[in-house]
Amino acid sequence: MVDRQILSDGKYRLEEILFTKPGLDGNSHDQKNEIYFRPDAVAVLLVDKQTEEFILTRQIRLATYLNQHGSSDGNLIEACAGLIEEGEEPSSAVIREAQEETGFKIANLNKVGGIYTSAGAITEYLHLFIAYVNAEDQEGEGGGAEGEGEDIKIVRLSFTDAKRKLSTGEINDAKTLMLLQYYFLYNS
């Protein structure tokens, strides 16, 4: 690191970092990046094999509203997801987030991988899970955690509709697209 400047320290820290890195030609050169320091997160695809449906969420995301690719009103269909709280294990965070957002209590949890969400600018690492649920596992209405400003609607998407939406590009949330593709790849 050659130089670091804090650009913002609101909800999360944003820094401009000047660093030296090796080039492909063997010579070092300086590069400047803006890096957003976000906590790690979790995402879970809830699968109801009895009804052959995925339980997803729909909520307005300001970034999708501002960008307007695929959804002019900002609504995004997503797998259940959220940030890992300090000292919390990813599996515990997934259980908490599923309960808050969808009302489902999950026990049959499978970690399928992890990804950097946008490695060029964001430190967040996203742990990916799949959980199998049924109607008896829904203990509440979901909708999001009180006080977080979430207005989450539960969306049930049939396996057939999910495949169609994947092929037409209607699923445009990266974590959801990856989890659905993973599910169809290993459960065909």
Q: 54 or 142, which is more confident?
A: 54
Q: Within this chain, do residues 29 and 48 fall inside the same structural domain, yes or no?
A: no
The total of structural domains in the chain comes to 2
Q: Within this chain, do residues 26 and 49 fall inside the same structural domain, yes or no?
A: no
Please give the average per-residue pLDDT across 122-127, as a whole number. Answer: 96
SS3 letters across 100-151:
HHHCECCCCEEEEEEEECCCCCECCEEEEEEEECCHHHECCCCCCCCCCCCC
Q: Residue 144 pLDDT more than 80?
A: no
Q: Residue 70 pLDDT more than 60?
A: no
Please give the average per-residue pLDDT across 151-162, as a whole number. Answer: 93
Q: Within this chain, do residues 76 and 88 fall inside the same structural domain, yes or no?
A: yes
DSSP 185: H
Range of the domain at 95: 39-186
Please give the average per-residue pLDDT across 159-186, as a whole number. Answer: 95
pLDDT (0 to 100) of residue 108 = 85
Q: Within this chain, do residues 50 and 75 fall inside the same structural domain, yes or no?
A: yes
Q: Within this chain, do residues 46 and 118 fall inside the same structural domain, yes or no?
A: yes
Q: Say what the pTM is.
A: 0.89
Q: Within this chain, do residues 82 and 108 fall inside the same structural domain, yes or no?
A: yes
pLDDT (0 to 100) of residue 6 = 93
- Alpha-carbon dihedral sign for residues 32, 34, 36, 40: negative
Q: Within this chain, do residues 54 and 119 fall inside the same structural domain, yes or no?
A: yes
Q: What is the pLDDT of residues 96-117, one digit of tens each?
A: 999 999 999 998 899 999 999 9
The CATH number that applies at residue 169 is 3.90.79.10
